[in-house]
Amino acid sequence: MLELVKAGGWPMLPLLLLSAVGLAIIVERFWALRRSAVLPPGLGQEVRTWAARGRLDPSHIDSLRRNSPLGELMAAALDVRHRPREEIRERVEDVGRHIAHRMERFLNALGTIAGAGPLLGLFGTVVGMIQMFLGVMDHGVGDVNQLAGGIGKALVCAAAGMVVAVPALIFHRWFRARIDGYIVDMEHEAIQLMDVIDPRARAAAAALAAYPQGDGQPDAQPAQG
């Protein structure tokens, strides 16, 4: 490996730097975007149970907000639970945008690495070709070693650029798809919570509990003429 780096010359330095940064971003995003860290199992059902029983004191909500991105989203809905459903939805959407932005942290940099890798590889290729032709000008076409060195540097840099770019592109797309899936799941959990804390839904549930079907309540009679 060290021999290949030496063969590529100084254009390999920015490629090595990009590969180190890309690897660090991939490892960090793998850790940050674990499903158990973003969508803890059972959290949505637990919060809906709290809401249904009215156990929503400020300490519970603050603890929920610090729990995970899903907890932060549900805490935002609980903060305005006494307001109309449309206001709750607006708050959830606003907080959801901020959460999505945080989950996409460093992904733009990873996408830049995926795009810059081949360009830096091409740059190294051009540098190698230039050195090859300068060698031809100085020593003529009889110096095979000079020609081989320039061609080798060009090929090594091109290969290194693709080695850096391909994994960065794959993981960039994969993280994007993972985040999109998380957002859909969090929206589903938030809608279910809104169904529980919606004042109109609670009123309808209370009415059904007070007058269940088949309890002998008379139906409304039409007005007599």
Write out the chain's pLDDT in tens, 225 residues. 566 666 666 778 888 899 999 999 999 999 999 999 999 999 999 888 888 887 778 888 898 899 899 999 999 999 888 888 888 899 999 999 999 999 999 999 999 999 999 898 888 888 777 777 776 666 665 556 666 666 777 788 888 889 999 999 999 999 999 999 999 999 999 999 988 887 665 555 555 556 655 454 444 444 443
Q: Which is nearest to 156 in space by CA: 131, 128, 135?
A: 128
Max CA distance (Å), the chain: 117
3-state helix, strand, coil in the chain (%, to 5): 80, 0, 20
- Residue 179, both tokens: 């985040």
User: Which residues fall within 8 angstroms of residue 22, CB to CB, at 6 or more apart?
Assistant: 110, 113, 164, 167, 168
Which pLDDT score is estimated for 10? 75
The predicted model scores a pTM of: 0.77
Q: Which is nearest to 154 in space by CA: 8, 6, 2?
A: 8
CB 18 within 8 A of CB 116: yes
